[in-house]
Amino acid sequence: MSKKNKRQASYGTKTSGSAFSRDEFNPDYSNIKRELKRIGILAGSFITVLVVLSFFQNSILALFIK
C-alpha cells in the first residue's frame, strides 16, 4: 500500500493571488459598539418614560377629557 501524505496548509501565507491570510482581516467595531450602546440607552429611557406615564394615566386623561 502507498503512504498517505497529509498536506498542511499554513494560514500565514498566501496560497494564490486572490486568497488572503487570516491575519489581514481585522475589523474595528468600536463605532458600532458606541452606536449600539446609544440605541440601548435611548430605548431604555423611552420604556422608563412610558412606565412612569402609565402610573399617571388616569390623572392625565382627566385633564384632557373634563
Q: What is the pLDDT of residues 29-53, one digit of tens each?
A: 999 999 999 999 999 999 999 999 9
Between 64 and 16, whose confidence is greater?
A: 64
Task: Specify the pLDDT at position 66.
Answer: 75
Closest CA to 21 of 34, 6, 11: 11
Q: Residues with Cβ < 8 Å from 23, sequence gap 6 or more?
A: 11, 12
Q: Is the pTM of this model over 0.85?
A: no
Q: Tell me the pLDDT tens digit for each residue of 10-29.
A: 555 555 555 556 678 889 99
Closest CA to 12 of 24, 4, 1: 24
